[in-house]
Structure 1
């Protein structure tokens, strides 16, 4: 696998560490040969009343999706191992679903009314919300079913995507009843 970017926060990226990351992530090629790039960030941080913790964040870009893993451990090499195992499971699942969808008929976009934002829950108004993290990403064209799969693969509660059927932005989210909702503009 071609690691496009390997960076360290609070840790120097040594040659043995770089080789170990390359070795662990090269195992993933057997599960999905269409991996376009990978970004790995190694972080060493001090945790209050605990030993130093090492965190590994890996993002793998694949056609029509992103596979991501974050793992922490007292040992950096153990954290890399754990992240590699998580990515391997996610890629196996992604490849299985991708091949299954490829063999099935082309999915039709699901028509239906947009879900109301109020169903997501209302705030009580007493606590002032604060934006603590901001992300920018490319909207990839996909079906709502693909977006649900990406949301599950990332472990998120919602996913923003460009709907192939309507050519507009959409949001899928996990409902409290275990099903999924789709929010689309009129």
Structure 2
């Protein structure tokens, strides 16, 4: 496993780099050696945040943790990713393509209990109305939802607005 470590508002000291490589390196048992883990360390006042993204075969494994100590955040994020891998192993790995994946054969062949089966409990159909992203955010707030699907009046494509941490909003739109 290789690492790309970036610091925002923090210098990535040799100690931090070693801590990231040691802790996140524990995940090497799941991945092939050419897998890249992208790590971003960010400090904002007393908030020490680590974000880890690991692209694997068309999917992205992502976790972030925030604490008042960067080393604690590093410890926590490794546990989160390991739980994700074990929980969603059957959904992440297609046994038919094991040779071509980023995962090690031992991980693919191992058995993990899938504690929580993914179930869709409710399906809703609606006719999305053309509107601007800002209007979609207002509509989302009025409905009390965390996201809202709409047709963007500027692009005529289906978009999604969603609430982010810190009372901000995000917009998801297709590339084409």
Per the normalisation by structure 2, the TM-score is 0.53
Gaps of 5+ in 2: 97-124, 138-145, 149-157, 160-176
Aligned partner of 1:90 in structure 2 is 84
**What SS class does the counterpart of residue 19 from structure 2 fall into?**
helix
> Deviations along 1:10-56, whole A, 9 cap, x unmatched?
1110001100100011111112337621110000002xxxxx11000
**Number of paired residues?**
114
Pick the aligned partner of 2:48 from 24, 49, 54: 54
Residue aligning to 1:27: 26
Query: How far apart, in 1, do the equivalents of 2:90 and 2:29 lie?
Result: 13
TM-score by length of 1: 0.51
Task: Measure how far apart 1:57 and its partner are.
Answer: 0.6
Aligned to 2:65: 71
Asked if 2 retains the 8 angstrom alpha-carbon contact of 1:32 and 1:95, the reply is no
Aligned ranges for residues 30-49 of structure 1 at < 5 Å? 30-33=29-32, 36-46=35-45
Unaligned runs of 5+ in 1: 47-51, 104-114, 131-155, 159-169, 172-186
Residue in 2 aligned with 1:165? none
Residue in 1 that maps onto 2:152: none
DSSP-derived class of the 2:31 partner: coil
Deviation at 1:94, TM superposition (A): 3.7
Match in the other structure for 1:6: 5
User: Does the aligned pair in 1 maintain the 2:2–2:33 contact within 8 Å?
Assistant: no
